[in-house]
Each structure stands twice: as structure tokens, then as C-alpha cells.
């Protein structure tokens, strides 16, 4: 290692952390600018890893060096200042888990790497380097898996490593104190107490009953669900759910992820690590194998040609392992992802992860329950409801962090926890002006009515009355439609989707005379999404003037196509104009119903889809699609 054996403040734990970090950042070591997120194997060792990361970036302790290492959830600056760090220096940021990596800046990291507990070989090599002594694999494993805070105390200067190992063995054999036992027990909450998980919670409780019946011999394993795919935005608690599920089912938990497997090295190491996780789950039956980041595997039909061989073999390896569980009793696989549409369909076929449940952001009641859970019944139900009202759009992980910071604030102030401690760490929210609320309501009702009139199943339509200052991207409103997985995706199907997508700006045009750039500006805006669908119609699905296809819609690069296909945008313009006019006509025919629903949405902020359908059911005519 490129570090002195006698570095000030360093002991064996720091050298172990240094070696782990060295391996993780090796691809960027010669770069003068990089930003790497490291997810630690044990969060309680974060101070040790922080010292090791700082030594990597500034080995000579030169005060002129601006490279930085810090703990992700303790940095007080804004995301803009974090991005400035990323642009101008070498940066290492430490996180507790993958869900703690802020979504707003995740894309700016060169990599997000899950560090493992140091391997036996690594520990043996470092002990030999420091102490000039070779140790066996059992001793190396003891050092790697010991509490590093105890290890740092045990490794005082001049103490032989044999005495250190003896001390650790005695400490490991000693009974846990009641306080430590209680902490471990409380670390994972049972599924019964968790809120905001909806269908996933119901499935988990059913699984717990089935596993209990199986364990007593009254139910065959063939009748037990063997897998589920959880999807949802980062921070909604997919990993927490897996832990609670394992506790409730009284099953061992094996945690794995695409990043953790990939961090092992090349494809052979990747597949070997994957096999190891499945093998561990088989040995620990009954067990739950939690696999995070399943969408990172991709789809064999749309993989990038440069990485096709690697990705296809990785997916095939996963399918082989999933199939290998058939006939082996006692293993349930819980997969997790942010974007289920990116997953190879073979992974979710019957017999694998065929059950799919989306975990959304918790509503107000769920947020109040999450506060109550993390506050351990401290403060009043009225306080919990007030906290919930101030945290609209937050995830369970966000709420857990708020409570953690509030407790820290109370400890430092040496006073009992108060509501003020909690509110101090709730990001400020500003009320949306009344005129803007009405504009947003018009826009969302436009989506809702056009979609409902075209036969789509509207679940809810909602608008936000406040916005949080800590988020650069957040919903000011949304119309949510249930997806019909059996729908025949013809040209008419896609034209209907384009019309619904343009329903928001069509409503603004009908009722306000114009629209603003919020729905028509950047990537992901309504107009951009409608344009992408129109391009796919013309150049991917063969549903336009030509039968030729440029390939899967997900891989189409709009800017690249425009440079080589001069006629494309003119054809797309015709589609967009036709569907925009069609959406306007639908809204004009239902003008009174639109305005009535806008008033209701402004007052109530959320309407069920059934109420929208009831308001427009008297008018059944729908304008022609055109673009034939």
C-alpha cells in the first residue's frame, strides 16, 4: 500500500479500511477529478473509513490539497455545493446504504460501490505487512468481523498481535449486556408495525403464515410464494421491508445487490459472488435472499452492444440461480428495483419473481405512523400528524433521518426530545400561491379527463399545496392511471397515450390561452415524452410512413436520429399537432365538467378517478385520431 506503516492516528482498522477503499477507487486513482460514493459494510465504523478515505486523498496532509472525504448524511451544504465539489476535485462520500445516496446527485458519481468486510486474504496480507507475521484464516476472519472500535483499543502500540487476538476472543465469548441486546432487537422492526407498504405488507404477512404452516408440516413448500419483485423510488424502504419480513417470518436474511456482486471484479468473479449469495441462502434455510438493484442487470433485448456479452451472461447467470432454487425448500427471493420496466422479462416469468408490487411514497397517515414508529411512541399523536403534514413527498428513509437528527439535537442540548427538535430538521416548505395551484389543477385535470375519455383507468388526480425547498425536482401534481398489462399496443393505443400526455398543455391552452415551459421544456416533460412516443411510432414500431425500424424504442437517441433522418421531425410534428388538437376537442366538449373538477381539485387537492369518470360520463363522443 502506498502509505507508511506508522501513519499518525492509524491502527489496524484504518489500514483495513484503507485497503478496501484502495480497491474500490482503483479505476480512478490516476484521475485528478473523480467523485465516488462508498456504501460501508458497517456504519458504526464510518469514522475509521473516513480517516482512511482522507488519507487516500491527501496522504501527505498537505493543507493546500482541496480533495475531500465526508459522510453523506452529515454534510450541511446544499446539493449545488456538493456538485461543485464533484466538478473541481477528487471526492469520496460515505453512505450507510444504497438508499441513502441522494437521488438528486446519484448520477453525478463516477461510481456507487458497496464495500465488503475485508476478505481473509486481505487481512492476512495487511497483518503480515504491519507485523511481519502470518496468521491463519480463522484469526483473519476474527479480525475482519470484530467490532473495529474494540479492535482499535486492543491494538495499542507494541502489543503483539497474538495478545490482540486473545483479547478479541474473550470479548466475543462474553455475554452481551442487556442494553446491547435491546439495541439489536430493536434494530429491525416487525412487519406488523410497519406502515405505508400496502400490498407488499399484506403479502409479507401472508407469507409469514404460510412459512409457519410449512415449518409445522401442515403446508407443502409448493404452496408457498417463492419470490416477489418490489419496485419504487429510492428511500421508500425496500431494504427495510426485507429485514422486517425476515424477522416476521423468523427466517435468516441474506442481503445481496448487483453492485455488491459487480464489485468483486470481472465477470467470473461477479458470477462467483452471485453463486455465493444463493449458496449462503440455501445453507441458512429457511431464509430470504434479498437482491437489490435488479434493474441494473438490464434487458437482454436492449443491452448496449459494447457490453452485450457481459450483460447477457450476467442475466443468464441470475436466471440459472433462480431456477436452481426450484425443488429446494426454504428459500424466498425478494428482488428490488427502481425501474421494473428495465428488467429482463425472463426474470419475472412464472416460477421466478412473478409477483410484482410497487411501493410508493407514504401518504399522510403512513407518514404519521412512520414517525410514531421511529419516535417509539414519544411525543403525541397530534405531533405525529403535524410532522406528517410537513413532510409531504418524503420517504420513510427521509423520516428516519429526521428523527435521528432530532434525537442528536436533543442529546446535545441535554433535554428531552421535543416537537421543535423534529421540526428543526424538517426541510422548509413554502405554500404554492393560489393562482399557481389553480393553473396546476387545470393542467392535471386536462390529463385526467383526456385519459379517462379515451378509456384509460384513472386511479387518482392530485396537486401539491406546498413545495419543499430542498428538492430540485418534485411533483406539483399528477394524474395516475392504472396500467393495463393486457392492452394491445397498436398505433391507436400509442396515439391515445400521446393525446393524454398532451392533455395538460391542451387544458392550459383551452382555459388560459397558453401554456408555460414547465410541461414542455426539459427531458421528462410532457411534450418531450409525447415526442419520444411519436418517434418510436415512426422509427421503431413501423407504424408510420415506413416499415423500417431503428431498433428498440428504449435505445433510440433522438438527437442522433435527427442528424441522419431529416424527414423525421416533420412527421413527428404532424402526429403531435393532431393529438394536441384532439385533446383540445375532448376538453372543449367537456368544458363545464372540467371547470367543476378544477374547483374541486383546488379545494381538496386529491380526487379519486371514479369522481372524474362520473363527471364526464354523460358525454361519450371522442374526436377522431387522424394521422392515417
Question: Average pLDDT for residues 372-380, to the nearest whole number?
Answer: 84
Domain boundaries, the chain: 12-114, 120-174, 188-358, 364-426, 434-616
pLDDT top residue among 84 and 457: 457
Residue carrying the nine cell digits 392511471: 481
SS3 466: strand
Give the residue among 364, 518, 363 at the shortest CA–CA distance from 436. Answer: 518
Residue carrying the nine cell digits 456538485: 83
Q: Give the right CATH number for 364-426 from 3.40.366.30, 1.20.120.1200, 3.40.50.300, 1.10.8.60.
A: 1.10.8.60
611 is a catalytic site residue: no
> CATH topology of 364-426 equal to that of 434-616?
no
d(CA 223, CA 209): 12
The reported pTM is: 0.52
Task: State pLDDT tens for residues 140-154.
Answer: 877 877 777 767 666
Domain 12-114 belongs to what topology? Answer: Rossmann fold (3.40.50)
Confidence check: pLDDT of 91 > 80: yes
What confidence score (pLDDT) does residue 287 get?
92
Task: State pLDDT tens for residues 338-359.
Answer: 888 788 889 988 888 888 898 8
CATH of domain 434-616: 1.20.58.760
What confidence score (pLDDT) does residue 403 get?
93
For helices 434-453 and 609-616, what crossing angle results, to 10°? 70
Dihedral of the CA atoms 441, 364, 388, 201 (nearest 10)? -140
List the grid coordinates of 322: 433462480
Q: Quickly count helices (H) and strands (E) in the chain.
A: 26, 14
pLDDT top residue among 89 and 156: 89
pLDDT tier for residue 336 given thresholds of 50, 70 and 90: very high
Confidence check: pLDDT of 184 > 50: no
**Of 444, 508, 538, 571, which is the active-site residue?**
444
What confidence score (pLDDT) does residue 619 get?
59
Task: State pLDDT tens for residues 458-485.
Answer: 988 999 887 776 655 567 888 888 877 6
Superfamily assignment of 188-358 in CATH? P-loop containing nucleotide triphosphate hydrolases (3.40.50.300)
Eight-class DSSP state of 116? P
Task: State pLDDT tens for residues 396-407.
Answer: 888 988 999 999
For the chain, the 3-state helix, strand and coil shares in percent, each to the nearest 5, are 55, 10, 35
Confidence check: pLDDT of 178 > 60: no
List the grid coordinates of 148: 473495529
Residue 24 CB neighbour total at 10 angstroms: 22
Residue 380 CB neighbour total at 10 angstroms: 11
Amino acid at each position: 500500500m502506498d502509505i507508511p506503516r506508522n501513519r499518525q492516528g492509524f491502527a489496524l482498522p484504518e489500514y483495513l479500511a484503507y485497503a478496501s477503499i484502495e480497491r474500490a477507487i482503483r479505476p480512478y486513482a490516476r484521475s485528478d477529478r473523480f467523485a465516488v460514493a462508498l456504501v460501508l459494510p458497517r456504519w458504526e465504523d464510518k469514522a475509521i473509513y473516513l480517516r482512511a478515505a482522507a488519507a487516500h486523498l491527501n496522504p501527505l496532509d498537505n493543507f493546500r490539497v482541496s480533495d475531500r472525504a465526508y459522510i453523506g448524511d452529515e454534510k450541511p451544504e446544499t446539493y449545488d455545493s456538493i456538485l461543485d465539489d464533484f466538478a473541481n476535485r477528487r471526492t469520496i462520500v460515505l453512505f450507510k446504504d444504497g438508499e441513502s445516496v441522494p437521488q438528486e446527485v446519484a448520477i453525478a458519481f463516477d461510481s456507487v460501490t458497496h464495500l465488503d468486510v475485508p476478505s481473509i486474504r486481505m487481512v492476512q496480507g495487511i497483518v503480515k505487512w504491519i507485523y511481519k507475521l502470518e496468521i491463519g484464516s480463522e484469526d483473519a476472519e476474527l479480525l475482519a468481523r470484530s467490532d473495529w472500535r474494540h479492535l482499535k483499543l486492543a491494538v495499542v502500540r507494541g502489543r503483539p498481535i497474538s495478545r490482540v487476538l486473545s483479547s478479541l476472543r474473550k470479548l466475543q465469548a462474553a455475554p452481551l449486556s442487556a442494553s446491547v441486546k435491546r439495541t439489536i432487537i430493536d434494530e429491525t422492526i416487525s412487519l406488523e408495525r410497519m406502515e405505508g407498504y400496502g400490498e407488499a405488507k399484506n403479502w409479507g404477512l401472508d407469507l409469514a403464515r404460510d412459512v409457519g404452516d410449512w415449518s409445522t408440516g401442515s403446508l407443502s413448500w409448493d404452496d408457498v410464494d417463492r419470490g416477489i419483485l418490489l419496485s419504487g423510488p429510492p428511500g421508500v424502504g425496500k431494504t427495510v421491508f426485507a429485514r422486517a419480513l425476515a424477522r416476521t417470518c423468523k427466517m435468516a436474511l441474506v442481503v445481496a445487490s448487483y453492485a455488491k456482486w459487480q464489485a468483486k471484479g470481472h465477470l467470473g468473479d461477479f458470477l462467483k459472488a452471485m453463486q455465493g449469495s444463493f449458496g449462503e441462502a440455501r445453507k441458512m434455510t429457511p431464509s430470504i435472499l434479498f437482491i437489490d438493484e435488479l434493474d441494473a442487470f438490464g434487458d437482454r433485448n436492449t443491452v448496449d452492444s459494447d457490453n452485450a456479452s457481459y450483460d447477457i451472461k450476467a442475466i443468464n447467470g441470475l436466471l440459472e440461480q433462480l431456477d436452481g432454487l426450484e425443488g429446494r425448500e426454504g428459500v424466498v427471493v425478494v428482488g428490488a428495483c427502481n425501474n421494473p420496466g428495465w428488467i429482463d422479462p425472463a426474470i419475472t416469468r412464472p416460477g421466478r419473481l412473478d409477483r410484482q408490487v410497487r411501493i410508493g411514497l407514504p401518504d399522510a397517515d403512513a407518514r404519521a405512523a412512520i414517525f410514531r414508529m421511529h419516535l417509539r411512541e414519544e411525543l403525541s399523536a397530534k405531533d405525529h400528524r403535524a410532522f406528517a403534514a410537513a413532510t409531504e413527498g418524503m420517504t420513510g428513509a427521509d423520516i428516519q433521518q429526521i428523527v435521528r437528527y432530532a434525537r442528536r439535537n436533543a442529546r446535545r442540548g441535554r433535554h428531552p426530545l421535543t416537537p421543535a427538535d423534529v421540526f428543526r430538521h424538517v426541510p422548509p416548505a413554502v405554500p404554492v400561491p393560489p393562482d399557481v395551484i389553480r393553473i396546476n389543477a387545470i393542467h392535471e385535470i386536462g390529463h385526467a379527463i383526456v385519459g379517462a375519455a379515451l378509456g384509460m383507468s384513472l386511479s387518482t388526480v392530485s396537486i401539491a399545496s406546498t413545495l419543499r425547498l430542498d428538492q430540485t425536482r418534485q411533483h406539483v401534481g399528477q394524474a395516475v392511471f392504472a396500467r393495463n398489462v393486457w392492452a394491445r399496443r397498436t398505433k391507436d393505443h400509442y396515439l391515445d397515450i400521446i393525446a393524454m400526455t398532451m392533455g395538460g398543455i391542451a387544458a392550459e391552452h383551452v382555459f388560459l390561452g397558453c401554456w408555460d415551459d414547465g410541461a414542455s421544456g426539459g427531458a421528462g416533460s410532457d411534450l418531450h415524452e409525447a415526442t419520444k412516443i411519436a418517434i418510436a411510432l415512426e422509427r421503431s414500431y413501423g407504424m408510420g410512413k415506413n416499415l423500417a425500424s431503428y431498433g428498440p424504442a428504449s435505445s433510440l437517441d433522438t438527437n442522433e436520429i435527427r442528424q441522419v433522418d431529416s424527414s423525421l421531425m416533420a412527421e413527428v410534428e404532424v402526429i403531435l399537432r393532431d393529438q394536441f388538437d384532439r385533446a383540445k376537442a375532448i376538453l372543449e366538449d367537456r368544458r363545464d365538467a372540467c371547470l367543476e373538477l378544477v374547483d374541486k381539485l383546488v379545494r381538496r387537492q386529491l380526487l379519486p378517478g371514479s369522481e372524474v369518470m362520473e363527471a364526464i360520463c354523460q358525454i361519450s363522443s371522442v374526436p377522431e385520431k387522424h394521422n392515417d
